[in-house]
């Protein structure tokens, strides 16, 4: 066969195949993510865009979540210049406080909390009447960033909203994060459960907070942090048996800082021996 | 058929003897091991991070072997003039192009399978519960790489320069994933931009349709998406191969 025949024949066949492929593409359902329009954190816009352009939005959300965890585990972001309700301080942060905090942090690390979750020991001990902490001002933004990349990354929303509401006493920020999550996946009912718990906490209805968090704990997606908060609330209420049960559950946590903390708490409660 | 298989076999073995291919596969396997480090940073989400990073690694390193393999597939033989030995035989040129493509794609698929065996071993070790959506995403990753192999081969025959063909192939990969955003921008701009965006998206490979890695948690991800993906990737790949054969038939040696 002649060369022109091969050439024009090839072009025609390619055209027909390509046209059919375009038709198939237009007919196909697209269950994937909505278009990515804007990063929730301009500082990370290039990194996020690179993930989108490589078709790795889910992994981009994972990276955003890891960065969230690192941010939340960094003492320098806890912003000690302002009131620090978790430690019941109302005065300005002084140099002597800084040294004391360093010592606290070191002893905390010696207990096995090397991942830097500063609030592990005090999670859930903040009262609703306490002043909101100004620490970790970007925590919500990190969660929104992870959620913008993968709107179905439920864990990032639950983790950040739990930390904001129960550790940093910033219920309004937590609600904002959860509302963003609901927009991304309106069918995920656990967001509404967390909203309920935050609202009860605001109204100081501790029993209802406990009941809601107990319900949330049944979910396999429940962050270890929420379980830890619930255990602390039980300890404050004097319900040591239930707290111990939760700590036993936390021993299985994939986050080593929580499993080590749970072990230490169980030793303190006299459930196990070191 | 026999000559097609012979060319495919020769290309497959040629890839396995290629140092670049082996280095990329080795790095891919090392990166797979590094997923454990990333997983350790994610606390409760360890398994999710290992799963996602492993899938991305397998696909991107598979893409690297496909692109680097495809850009040199025909051009290197033309430069070294070894192509004369093949084309002096009574061998239709389309058979040569398809045989080369098939051999390369099988070599790339083997590299992805090797990486995924290690990946799922690590996941199993970390207590991962198998998810049917992940099993459906795996062949879709192979389809993406198949489309890119054919497209890169087409680029290498169009541009006849290795760097240009590589850059264009990577550009098409990136733009292919940007389809949803291009359509969105077109709709926002309105008017002729909508048509322009639609035409642009039609020319580009529809990677958003094949990007099953990002659909794992979405309820609509089912057999129908998989079927459409297979059909689309098959047709697009054949279109690229037909065009490559047409261009190759005009080449003078």
Q: How far is CA A96 from CA A99, A100, A101, A118, in A?
A: 5, 6, 9, 19
Q: What is the pLDDT of residues B146-155, one digit of tens each?
A: 999 999 999 9
**pLDDT over threshold 90, residue B67:** yes
d(CA B142, CA A60): 21
A50-75 average pLDDT score: 92
Query: Which residue in chain A is spatially nearest to B181 when comparing CA positions?
Result: A35
Whole-number pLDDT of residue A96: 47
Residue A30 and residue B215: Cα distance in Å, rounded?
Answer: 9
Which segment of A77-91, A103-117, B193-207, B212-226 scores lowest on mean pLDDT? A103-117
User: Is the whole model's pTM more than 0.80, yes or no?
Assistant: yes
Band of residue A79 on the pLDDT scale cut at 50, 70, 90: low
Q: Quick check: A155 and B44 CB within 8 A? A: yes
Contact B219 A31 (CB under 8 A): yes
In the predicted structure, residue B65 carries a pLDDT above the cut 60? yes
Whether the pLDDT of residue A86 is over 60: the answer is: no
Q: Does the distance separating the beta carbons of A14 and B243 come in below 8 Å?
A: yes
Over 50: is that where the pLDDT of A109 sits? no
The ipTM, to two decimals, is 0.90
Asked if B215 reaches chain A (Cβ–Cβ under 8 Å), the answer is yes
The residues pairing with A89 across neighbouring beta strands, listed in sequence order, are A84
Whether residue B66 has pLDDT greater than 70: yes
Other CB atoms within 10 Å distance of the CB of residue A51:
25
Burial of B253 (0-12, 13-18, 19+ CB in 10 A): exposed
- Tell me what the pLDDT averaged over chain B comes to: 91
Q: What is residue A222's predicted lDDT score, i.e. its pLDDT? A: 85
Phi, psi for A84 (deg, rounded to 5): -130, 75
A226-255 residues touching B, CB cutoff 8 A: 253-255
Separation of alpha carbons B30 and A253, rounded Å: 27
| Residues B242-250, mean pLDDT to the nearest whole number | 90
Interface A:B, Cβ pairs < 8 A: 168
The pLDDT value recorded for residue A32 is: 74
Q: Which of residues 38-77 of A touch B (CB under 8 A)?
A: 52-59, 62, 65-66, 69-70
Residues of B in contact with A55 (CB under 8 A): 144, 176-177, 207-208, 211, 213-214
- The predicted pLDDT at position A93 comes to 36
- Interchain CB distance below 8 Å, A28 and B221: no
Q: What would the mean pLDDT of B215-224 be, rounded to a whole number? A: 86
Q: Residue A22 has what pLDDT?
A: 93
pLDDT at A125: 57
Q: Residue B223 has what pLDDT?
A: 87
Average pLDDT on A250-271 reads 85
Task: Give the one of B211, B216, B238 whose C-beta lies nearest to A55's C-beta.
Answer: B211
**In this predicted model, what pLDDT tens digit does every residue of B161-174 receive, in sequence order?**
889 999 999 999 99
pLDDT of B160: 75
| pLDDT confidence band for A213 (50 / 70 / 90) | confident
pLDDT tier, A119 (very low <50, low <70, confident <90, very high otherwise) = low
Q: Could you give the CA distance from residue B60 to residue B115 in angstroms, rounded to a whole number? A: 11
Neighbours of B171 (CB within 10 A): 12
> How large is the average pLDDT for residues A55-67?
94
User: Which positions 98-127 of A are in contact with B (Cβ < 8 Å)?
Assistant: 115
Nearest CA in chain B to A10: B246
- Which one has a higher pLDDT value, B40 or A108? B40
* CA gap A138, A36 in Å, rounded: 21
A124 compared with A204, residue with greater pLDDT: A204
Mean pLDDT within A247-260: 85
What's the pLDDT at A218?
85
Per-residue model confidence (pLDDT) at position B206: 92
Question: To the nearest whole angstrom, how far is the Cα of B95 from the nearest Cα of chain A?
Answer: 12
Q: What is the pLDDT averaged over residues A218-224?
A: 83
Nearest to B46 among A25, A36, A254 (CB): A254
Q: Is A220 on the interface with B (CB under 8 A)?
A: no
pLDDT interval class at A85 (50, 70, 90): very low
The number of domains in chain B is 1
- Residues B37-66 have a mean pLDDT of 93
DSSP string, chain B: -HHHHHHHHHHHHHHHH-HHHHHHHHHHHHHHHHHHHHHHHTGGGHHHHHHHHHHHHHHHHHHHHHHHHHHHHTHHHHHTTTHHHHHTSS--HHHHHHHHHHHHHHHHHHHHHHHHHHHHHHHHHTTPPP-HHHHHHHHHHHHHHHHHHHHHHHHHHHH--HHHHHHHHHHHHHHHHTHHHHHHHHHHH-THHHHHHHHHHHHS--HHHH-GGGGTT-TT-SHHHHHHHHHHHHHHHHHHHHHHHHHHHT---
Residue range B222-228: mean pLDDT, rounded: 90
Candidates B183, B217, B232; nearest CB to A21? B232
C-alpha B221/C-alpha B198 separation (Å) is 24
Give A94 to chain B, closest Cα distance, Å. Answer: 32
- A230 by Cβ neighbours in 10 Å (0-12 / 13-18 / 19+) ranks as buried
- Indicate the angle between helix axes B46-73 and B93-125, nearest 10 degrees: 160
Nearest CA in chain A to B37: A66
| B240 contacts on A by Cβ (under 8 Å) | 14
The domain of B222 spans 2-249
List pLDDT tens digits, range A159-207. 999 999 988 889 899 999 999 999 989 888 889 989 998 988 888 888 8
Chain B positions touching A22 (Cβ under 8 A) are 202
Q: What is the pLDDT of residue A132?
A: 73
* Residue A115 pLDDT greater than 70, yes or no: no
Which residues 22-41 of chain A have a CB within 8 Å of chain B? 22, 24-25, 27-37
State pLDDT tens for residues B101-141. 999 999 999 999 999 999 999 999 998 988 899 999 999 99
Residue A234, CA distances (Å) to A139, A203, A227, B222 in order? 26, 18, 11, 44
Six token digits for residue B251: 């080449």
pLDDT value of residue A110: 41
Q: What is the pLDDT of residue B104?
A: 94
Of B45, B173, B243, the CB nearest to A10: B243
> Is B248 in contact with B156 (CB distance < 8 Å)?
no
Cβ atoms A95, A79 nearer than 8 A? no
Determine contact: B249 vs chain A, CB below 8 A: yes
- Residue with more model confidence, B236 or B159: B236
Q: What share of chain A has pLDDT > 90, as a percent? A: 29
| Segment 21-60 of chain B within 8 Å of chain A by CB | 38, 41-49, 52-53, 55-56, 60
Of chain B, the percentage scoring pLDDT greater than 90 comes to 65
Give the model's pLDDT for residue B199: 92
- Binned at pLDDT 50, 70 and 90, residue A117 comes out as very low
């Amino acid at each position: 066969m002649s060369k022109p025949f091969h050439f024009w024949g090839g072009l025609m066949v390619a055209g027909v195949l390509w046209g059919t492929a375009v038709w198939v593409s237009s007919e196909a359902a697209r269950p994937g993510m909505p278009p990515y329009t804007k990063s929730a954190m301009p500082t990370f816009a290039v990194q996020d865009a690179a993930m989108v352009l490589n078709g790795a939005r889910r992994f981009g959300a994972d990276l955003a979540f890891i960065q969230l965890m690192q941010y939340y585990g960094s003492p320098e972001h806890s912003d000690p210049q302002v009131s620090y309700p978790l430690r019941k301080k109302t005065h300005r942060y002084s140099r002597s406080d800084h040294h004391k905090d360093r010592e606290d942090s070191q002893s905390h690390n010696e207990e096995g909390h090397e991942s830097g979750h500063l609030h592990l020991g005090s999670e859930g001990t903040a009262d609703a009447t306490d002043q909101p902490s100004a620490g970790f001002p970007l925590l919500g933004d990190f969660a929104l960033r992870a959620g913008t990349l993968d709107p179905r990354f439920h864990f990032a929303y639950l983790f950040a909203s739990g930390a904001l509401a129960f550790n940093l006493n910033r219920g309004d920020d937590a609600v904002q994060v959860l509302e963003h999550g609901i927009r991304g996946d309106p069918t995920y009912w656990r967001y509404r459960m967390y909203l309920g718990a935050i609202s009860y906490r605001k109204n100081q209805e501790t029993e209802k907070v406990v009941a809601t968090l107990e319900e949330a704990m049944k979910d396999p997606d429940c962050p270890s942090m929420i379980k830890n908060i619930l255990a602390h609330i039980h300890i404050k209420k004097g319900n040591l048996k239930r707290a111990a049960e939760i700590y036993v559950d936390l021993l299985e946590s994939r986050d080593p800082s929580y499993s080590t903390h749970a072990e230490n708490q169980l030793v303190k409660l006299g459930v196990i021996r070191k | 058929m026999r000559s097609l298989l012979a060319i495919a076999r020769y290309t497959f073995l040629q890839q396995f003897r290629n140092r670049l291919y082996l280095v990329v596969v080795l790095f891919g396997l090392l990166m797979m091991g590094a997923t454990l480090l990333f997983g350790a940073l994610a606390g409760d989400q360890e398994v999710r991070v290992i799963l996602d990073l492993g899938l991305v690694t397998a696909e991107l390193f598979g893409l690297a072997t496909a692109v680097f393999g495809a850009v040199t597939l025909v051009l290197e033989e033309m430069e070294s003039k070894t192509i004369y030995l093949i084309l002096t035989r009574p061998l239709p040129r389309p058979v040569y192009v398809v045989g080369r493509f098939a051999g390369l794609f099988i070599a790339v698929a083997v590299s992805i399978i090797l990486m995924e065996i290690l990946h799922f071993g690590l996941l199993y070790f970390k207590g991962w519960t198998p998810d049917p959506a992940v099993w459906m995403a795996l062949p879709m990753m192979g389809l993406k790489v198949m489309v890119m192999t054919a497209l890169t081969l087409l680029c290498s025959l169009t541009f006849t320069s290795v760097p240009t063909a590589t850059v264009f192939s990577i550009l098409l990969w990136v733009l292919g994933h940007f389809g949803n955003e291009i359509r969105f921008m077109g709709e926002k701009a309105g008017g002729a931009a909508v048509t322009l965006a639609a035409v642009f998206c039609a020319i580009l490979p529809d990677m958003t349709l094949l990007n099953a890695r990002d659909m794992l948690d979405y309820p609509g991800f089912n057999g129908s998406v998989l079927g459409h993906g297979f059909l689309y990737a098959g047709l697009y790949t054949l279109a690229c191969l037909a065009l490559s054969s047409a261009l190759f038939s005009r080449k003078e040696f």
